[in-house]
Structure 1
Amino acid sequence: MSKNRLCTICARQGSKGVPNKNIRQFHGKPLIAYVIAAAHESRLFDAIAVSSDGDDILECSRIYGADYQIKRPEAMATDVAAKLPAIQHCASQVESLSGKQFDTFVDISVTSPLLLAQDIQGVVALLEKQLPINVITGTVASNSPYFSLVEQTAEGFVNLAKKPEKPFERRQDCPPCFDMNGAIYAWTAEHFFSLKDVITDRTLIYEMPAERSVDIDTELDFEFAAFLFNKRIHPSR
């Protein structure tokens, strides 16, 4: 049975780390253009919607091919606002405007311009085959909480973040751990609107390579992502 799928892209106007980053020029196009293009290239979605409190961002998303521009309420656009309610609000608005109910909801991060259509396809395939509550994306963690990641106590001392009963002699022997990269989130409709948290007791992870997992939050992230994108276009460099 074919499924109705909605792609949401949340692009808040305020950004202190990289001012105006969601529509900042990145290799000749606004940053948001890349994830809209990846969503189209995946050929999975009945609609692509952008949620933002910024009119300039919404207009930019229209120019680059988003089907719906959803104005985000101010309360969902503050520095401390959680992202999931904004995604749910966007999805609810699109269902109301389109008169269509969706089976699968996928949110793609504007700040992950290195992701590819194949990453989106992989996430959706995992969701619809394994039928968890949701799927998140991540890359293999550079440090293991069982081996080399420490946390500091109130007294200033450090311990392993996750101390095993028996110490591991090699990092390779530790349970697999991942850094969430925030690139893609996907949910089934059965649970989507009632959820309060991104991580549930039935969340699966889709592994993405490190070179596609850069999440732009600082100027250094922006420069590094631009460097990796340039290497993709010109691999000889």
Structure 2
Amino acid sequence: MKRICTICARGGSKGVPGKNLRVIAGRPLLAWSIWQAAQTGLFDAIAVSSDSEDILRAAEAAGAQVLVRRPADMATDTAPKAPVIRHALLAAEAELGWQADVLVDLDATSPLREPADIAGAVAQLEADGRSCVITAAPARRSPYFNLVELDGAGNAHLSKPLPNAVVRRQDAPRCFDMNASIYVWRRSAIVGDPRVFYPDTGLYEMPEERSVDIDSPLDMDIVTMLMERRHGERPA
């Protein structure tokens, strides 16, 4: 069983400029994902895809074995994620000269994961025979109980009402918040049909404290605090 880990880190970021190279707990943000992947001992290669030469140099310094230069049309704000990951996989395989059986993509902006989370998600996919496994945390809000939408007249309604009203959140079906941390695919799925949700997509549950994705300066502050609490101000 051969496995490749990809990490896709675009140079442009409007929410938090330069976030992928921002130093957190003694390492550039991007380097934490490379370190976590290496710690699992699962991967035959770790590849980083970027449109930024600075990011690619930092990736090489952090231990990435394959550097993938991302085409400009895949580095826009509107570029879908799955085709970018597919491109990174195929480019890495072309350079390495072999094909993977399993692809794992780690989001560089979700560094609170542990290596054990990566291993757990991979083990779930390989045991269940699924096309894809995503990671998520229990949702704070429920579309059956306290998540609402506005209709065309501006009236608030439950997003997903049930025939029998749910009067306690604990009685609502369990819901999860995708944390964008870990995606695991079988090669045949991501190459043949690059998307996240297949009929058999599985979910690996992670706790809320390991599920913050950096999209805003507030997220950066929260992640920095939690990473420094866990690892100190210098790399572990």
Q: TM-score normalised to the size of structure 1? A: 0.96
Aligned residue among 31, 38, 41 for 2:39: 41
Deviations 1:32-84 (A, max 9, x none): 11010000001100000000000000000000000000000000000110111
Q: How does 1:135-214 map to 2 (within 5 A)?
A: 135-214=133-212
Q: Quick one: distance in 1 between partners of 2:23 and 2:230?
A: 18
Question: Which position in structure 1 is the counterpart of 2:25?
Answer: 27
Asked if the contact 2:86/2:194 (under 8 Å) is kept, the reply is: no
Deviations 1:134-153 (A, max 9, x none): 00000000001000000111
User: SS of the residue aligned with 1:167?
Assistant: coil
- Unaligned runs of 5+ residues in structure 1 are none
Q: How does 1:1-237 map to 2 (within 5 A)?
A: 3-233=1-231
Q: Quick one: distance in 2 between partners of 1:84 and 1:103?
A: 17
- Amino acid corresponding to residue 90 of structure 2 in structure 1: S
Q: TM-score normalised to the size of structure 2? A: 0.96
Deviations 1:99-125 (A, max 9, x none): 111100000000011111000000000
Q: Quick one: distance in 2 between partners of 1:91 and 1:60?
A: 20
Asked if the contact 2:137/2:177 (under 8 Å) is kept, the reply is: yes
Shift in Å, 1:154? 1.6
User: SS of the residue aligned with 1:143?
Assistant: coil
Q: Quick one: distance in 2 between partners of 1:196 and 1:92?
A: 12
Q: Quick one: distance in 2 between partners of 1:7 and 1:21?
A: 21
- The alignment-based identity, stated in percent, is 47
Q: Quick one: distance in 2 between partners of 1:189 and 1:79?
A: 26
User: SS of the residue aligned with 1:193?
Assistant: helix
Deviations 1:2-52 (A, max 9, x none): x10000000001001110110111122110110100000011000000000
Asked if the contact 2:82/2:190 (under 8 Å) is kept, the reply is: no
Aligned residues: 232
Q: Quick one: distance in 1 between partners of 2:91 and 2:85?
A: 10
Q: Quick one: distance in 1 between partners of 2:174 and 2:118?
A: 22
- Amino acid corresponding to residue 227 of structure 2 in structure 1: F
User: SS of the residue aligned with 1:40?
Assistant: helix
The one of the two structures with greater contact order (alpha-carbon pairs below 8 A, sep at least 6) is 2
Shift in Å, 1:231? 2.5
Q: Quick one: distance in 2 between partners of 1:143 and 1:188?
A: 31
- Amino acid corresponding to residue 184 of structure 2 in structure 1: A
> C-alpha root-mean-square deviation of aligned residues, in Å?
1.0
